[in-house]
Amino acid sequence: MPRVILVDASQVSAHRPGKPLFEDLSVTVSSGDRLGVVGINGGGKSTLLKVLAGTFEPEAGTVRRGRGTRISVLDQDAPLPAGTVGSVVGEAWEGAAVLDRLGMGAALDTDVATLSGGQVKRVALARALVAVGGPGGQADEGDLLILDEPTNHLDLDGIAWLEEWLARFPGGLVLVTHDRHVLDRVTTTVVELDRGRSHVHVGGYQSWLDARTERTARSAEAETRRRNLARAELAWLRRGAPARSRKPWARVEAATALVQARPEAAARQGDLPLHVETPRLGDQVVELHGVADGYGDRMLFEGVDLLLDPRERLGIVGPNGAGKSTLLDVIAGRRTPRQGRVVQGSTVRLSLYDQRGASLDPNQRVREAVAGPTRQPDWTDARLLEAFWFDDDAQWAPISLLSGGERRRVQLLLTLAQKPNVLLLDEPTNDLDLDTLRSLEDFLDDWPGALLVVSHDRAFLERTVTDVLVLDGKGFAGRRPGGYAAWDAERRSRATGSRSAPSVTPIAERASTGTDTRAAKSPAAPSGRSPSTLRRLLKEAEKEIARLERARARLEDEVATAAKTSDHAALAELGAAVAAVHEEIAAAEERWLALGAELE
């Protein structure tokens, strides 16, 4: 069956004050296409989606839509008309079925004006899906679905269901998301927006990453060739003045242009400098003793006894409404639990990066927000903002002009500027671009404080936490060693028919037996070191082994080069260095094996 062209954009352009978003961009979306749009925050992703949807007029170029194409859109802001949830989504069974899958099945008769921001986003997503067929399969190849960050505010089960739904959708899909699992599983083409230019790559997220790495390497090679040629041309230009009068002027001009050329600056200079100074953290971090809390007659969690390790890496998982954010508020001291007590160590400096983020005045300039209300912005603020990838134009812009991701990056800056040694992150990946996410993950790898994370981003959880605390919203709270992947594999096994006893141990049971929850993550270690500490040391040992193996490979390449030149002195020196690295690798592997045995 021939594919149907749903939308065709030809040489479209759009700008924001001071910079281009995209220029001369051409893209066609046909039935069956799965288009992912990536780029840095503020780079024009949401604007491109609006251009394709017909809600934003490009400054140049043309956009043609197929005759009879039905377009359904989920905006980042997700506005809803007045009415109840059921009336907004659709009164038919399809609407109720989708709402149930997205965790809003009990809210059919709720007025949308009373919903939280996350609930509004889920209702808007349900509305967009139902508009092109819902779960009943009525969607056809003439439908175009345009989704801007659809996984925000979904729980893990909701995201898994959405993946399956999108995989079966017969129409065309244009998607902006920070969820790397969704990008890799769902998309078949990736459009990267980069400072006014666009790069179209056929393939999913991992394939695009490989292509971008190769493109960056080619750019570096081209710059090396330019510099070599520029040196030769400069030498030619500098030959004596009498000879220069006889030089062809066309070559003189070309050589001058080559010498004066400069490589294009990277979209962002360096990595995000998240490595702020971290105050020392003592042995006592945060302790929860018999904590219980809820709303109205509903208890979300009960009997929670938790002792956080100074290098804690704990994820908190569960369905929407299970109390994950409530528990973080209790730990942060924002909320007093109904039962139990929370004890903070004397050296604790705690920061909470929540879903709302620091309150930002939309009329305030970015520089003023960072400086705070007690002083005027100065050069130190400008320098910090530049390091966080805000150029001069963005620093002077009012916050209302920033993209959603740029506002989240300002809030992240304000959180880390407090120099915490205990960091609570509530859905930190929402609206951040992929480069910022990778920088944040790299920072958390080596950050010396205690970390608690609530996130629906599976890749982020897999990278940052070693254990998970499971909440079911009905009072149960249990800790699962092994991180997100181990917990997810276990629950999938149970869902497919295996009914073996869960290895998630209720925290209340540990309290009744007097077990320290730090040691209860796995069987007690003979040395007395907690399992989370051992897992951290294992990870550090793996990094050290990888570093040494890279060093060995580099030395072996140097040995091969020296052998070709018969440089015996260099060969002897390199041979000794290779032997020393071999010994270091053997010692590192022994440490790794010993730590693994201790953990078991």
Please choose, from the candidates 29, 25, 28, 53, the residue with its C-alpha nearest in 3D space to the C-alpha of residue 39: 25
Same structural domain for residues 472 and 546?
A: no
Predicted pLDDT at 243: 47
Interatomic CA distance for residues 559 and 124, integer angstroms: 62
Instruction: For residue 284, count other CB atoms closer than 10 A to its CB.
Output: 15
Look at the chain and report how many structural domains it folds into: 3
Element (H, E) at 538: helix 531-565
CA atoms within 13 A on the CB side of 493: 12
- Please indicate, yes or no, if residue 106 is contained in any of the structural domains: yes
- Please indicate, yes or no, if residue 274 is contained in any of the structural domains: no
User: Tokens standing for 539?
Assistant: 């990870």
Same structural domain for residues 517 and 538?
A: no
Same structural domain for residues 457 and 490?
A: yes
Q: Give the model confidence (pLDDT) of 19-59 as tens digits.
A: 789 999 999 999 999 999 998 888 889 999 999 999 999 99
Please choose, from the candidates 119, 144, 142, the residue with its C-alpha nearest in 3D space to the C-alpha of residue 129: 144
Please choose, from the candidates 474, 469, 494, the residue with its C-alpha nearest in 3D space to the C-alpha of residue 484: 469
What phi and psi values does residue 72 have, to the nearest 5 degrees?
Answer: -125, 135
- Please indicate, yes or no, if residue 403 is contained in any of the structural domains: no
Same structural domain for residues 338 and 190?
A: no
- Please indicate, yes or no, if residue 177 is contained in any of the structural domains: yes
Beta strands (DSSP E) in 213-337 are: 286-295, 298-307, 313-317
Same structural domain for residues 60 and 110?
A: yes
Interatomic CA distance for residues 95 and 129, integer angstroms: 9
Model confidence at 342, pLDDT cuts 50, 70, 90, reads very high
Collapsing DSSP states into helix, strand and coil, what is residue 513?
Answer: helix
- Please indicate, yes or no, if residue 28 is contained in any of the structural domains: yes
Q: Point out the least confidently predicted range of 216-220, 228-232, 366-370, 406-410.
A: 228-232
Collapsing DSSP states into helix, strand and coil, what is residue 261?
Answer: coil
Torsion sign, CA atoms 495, 499, 505, 510: positive
Same structural domain for residues 441 and 572?
A: no
Predicted pLDDT at 333: 92
Over residues 384-397, the mean pLDDT reads 77
Collapsing DSSP states into helix, strand and coil, what is residue 563?
Answer: helix
Same structural domain for residues 25 and 63?
A: yes
What phi and psi values does residue 57 have, to the nearest 5 degrees?
Answer: -90, 125
Domain endpoint, select from 208, 232, 263: 208
Collapsing DSSP states into helix, strand and coil, what is residue 77?
Answer: coil
Collapsing DSSP states into helix, strand and coil, what is residue 423?
Answer: strand
253 compared with 350, residue with greater pLDDT: 350
Percent of the chain with pLDDT over 90: 28
What is the β-pairing status of strands 172-176 and 143-148? parallel
Same structural domain for residues 143 and 105?
A: yes
- Please indicate, yes or no, if residue 222 is contained in any of the structural domains: no
β-bridge partners, 187: none
Over residues 577-581, the mean pLDDT reads 81
Interatomic CA distance for residues 205 and 188, integer angstroms: 9
Model confidence at 523, pLDDT cuts 50, 70, 90, reads very low
Predicted pLDDT at 524: 36
Amino acid at 60: A
- Please indicate, yes or no, if residue 406 is contained in any of the structural domains: no
Predicted pLDDT at 509: 54
Predicted pLDDT at 511: 47
DSSP 340-388: EEEEE-TT--EEEE-SS-S---TTSBHHHHHH-TTS---HHHHHHHHHT
Same structural domain for residues 502 and 548?
A: no
The CATH number of residue 45's host domain is: 3.40.50.300
| Average pLDDT score over the chain | 80
- CA 427 from chain centre, in angstroms, equals 10
Q: Point out the least confidently predicted range of 198-202, 268-272, 333-337.
A: 268-272
283, pLDDT greater than 50: yes
Over residues 126-137, the mean pLDDT reads 76
β-bridge partners, 299: 294
CA atoms within 13 A on the CB side of 66: 19
Amino acid at 446: D
β-bridge partners, 291: 304
Amino acid at 145: L
Same structural domain for residues 148 and 22?
A: yes
Over residues 66-70, the mean pLDDT reads 88
Predicted pLDDT at 574: 78
Domain endpoint, select from 521, 552, 586: 521
- Please indicate, yes or no, if residue 447 is contained in any of the structural domains: yes
Same structural domain for residues 84 and 139?
A: yes
Interatomic CA distance for residues 414 and 417, integer angstroms: 5
- Angle between helix axes 249-260 and 205-238 (nearest 10 degrees) is 130
Segments forming the whole domain that contains residue 504: 286-349+419-521
User: Tokens standing for 380?
Assistant: 């130190």
Domain endpoint, select from 184, 208, 232: 208
Please choose, from the candidates 338, 341, 337, the residue with its C-alpha nearest in 3D space to the C-alpha of residue 307: 341
Same structural domain for residues 58 and 191?
A: yes
DSSP 408-442: HHHHHHHHHTT--SEEEEESTTTT--HHHHHHHHH
Please choose, from the candidates 277, 321, 319, the residue with its C-alpha nearest in 3D space to the C-alpha of residue 298: 321
